[in-house]
Amino acid sequence: MPEGDTLFRTAVTLQRAIGGQVVTRFETVLPKLARVDVDTPIAGRTIERVESVGKWLLMRFSGGLTLLTHMLMSGSWHIYKPGERWQAPGSAARIVIETSEYVAVGFNVPVAEMHTAESLRRERRIPAAKSDLLSLDFDAEAAVVRIMSEAYGELGDVLLRQRVMAGVGNVFKSEACFVAGLHPFRKVGTLTEKQVREVVAVARKQLAANVMEDSGDRIVTWRGVGRRTTRNSDPKESLWVYGRAGEPCRRCETLIESRMQGADARVTFWCPGCQSSKDGYHVPR
Ligand SMILES: [Zn+2]
């Protein structure tokens, strides 16, 4: 699943490429979108703005229509110059939006809906800007309160709940818990408000750093000596714990552990040496 920062960058890239331009061609293999396009053609409309909210991408067209997409595990948006060779098979293309300068292609986009201003207002799955870690309007104190209210939830799992806070995906979940020094399997109820505030601040900082960072699709939370200059392509080489089960912790050399967590069984990584499971909570094995 793309993390909030990946989607944020996708939105920024799309906005730079096609924002403000007029759609010259719109094609889709998705029946519902195709029907909207027949009734109220997308070609000829201006792309007013492309933005991300949590893990949703919103493409706003003139005339009040908004294309809402969610990438889940599989989807992605690419940008090409007209005639440029696509980096994914044409059969995977679900939506093609062309302007005079660029072609935006949505590959394997599993969720795509066209909304009017009215239906978008009623859309409850999109988190409010104040719960989006990457929004300037993010309200950290309110997020802390929402996390604290999930007292019986495990920290790593609660951080993924988009209603609680939007933007943290599976990688940042493990990385933020590590940097905050908190065991991801601790029940939230065993944490102090200060600890929760800390993990929220860390997650926000990590996401923001990756938005600014020119790291491509790679997430960077750890920098070894000289890491800025060596372009190591192994994603594990830029992270503290994620994907590093059985390898020594970069801080204390204890072996990193991993285990499935939550109803969706998303894998979580942690260092038993650096991340305290104390304060009355026994970590089951
Ligand atoms: Zn450690």
Tell me the pLDDT tens digit for each residue of 257-282: 999 998 888 899 999 999 977 654 44
Q: Retrieve residue 225's tokens.
A: 């000596």
Max Cα separation, the chain? Answer: 62
pLDDT at position 210: 83
Can you give the pLDDT at residue 278? 62
pLDDT in the model for residue 73: 79
Alpha carbon of 223 to ligand 1 centroid (Å): 15
pLDDT value at residue 23: 98
Rounded distance from Cα 272 to ligand 1 centre (Å): 7
Q: What is the mean pLDDT of each run of 10 residues along the chain (285 residues)?
A: 76 94 97 95 96 90 95 89 93 96 95 93 84 90 96 96 88 95 95 96 91 65 55 69 95 96 91 79 44
40: tokens are 């109220």
Could you tell me the end-to-end alpha-carbon distance of the chain, in angstroms, rounded to an integer? 26
Using CA atoms, how far residue 21 sits from 17, 49, 60, 122, in Å, is 9, 10, 11, 28
**pLDDT of amino acid 228:** 39
Residue pair 233/217 in contact by the 8 Å Cβ criterion:
no
pLDDT attached to residue 1: 52
Cα 195 vs. chain centroid, distance in angstroms?
A: 23
Task: Tally Cβ neighbours within 10 Å of residue 51.
Answer: 19
Tell me the residue type at 213.
Answer: E
Cβ neighbours of residue 61 closer than 8 Å, sequence gap 6 or more: 23, 42, 45, 46, 47, 48, 67
How far apart (Å, rounded) are the C-alpha atoms in residues 47 and 26?
Answer: 12
**Residues with catalytic annotation?**
2-3, 55
Query: How far, in Å, is the centroid of ligand 1 from the Cα of 254?
Result: 5
What pLDDT does residue 116 have? 94
- Residue 224 CA to residue 250 CA, distance in Å, equals 9
Task: State the pLDDT at residue 105.
Answer: 96
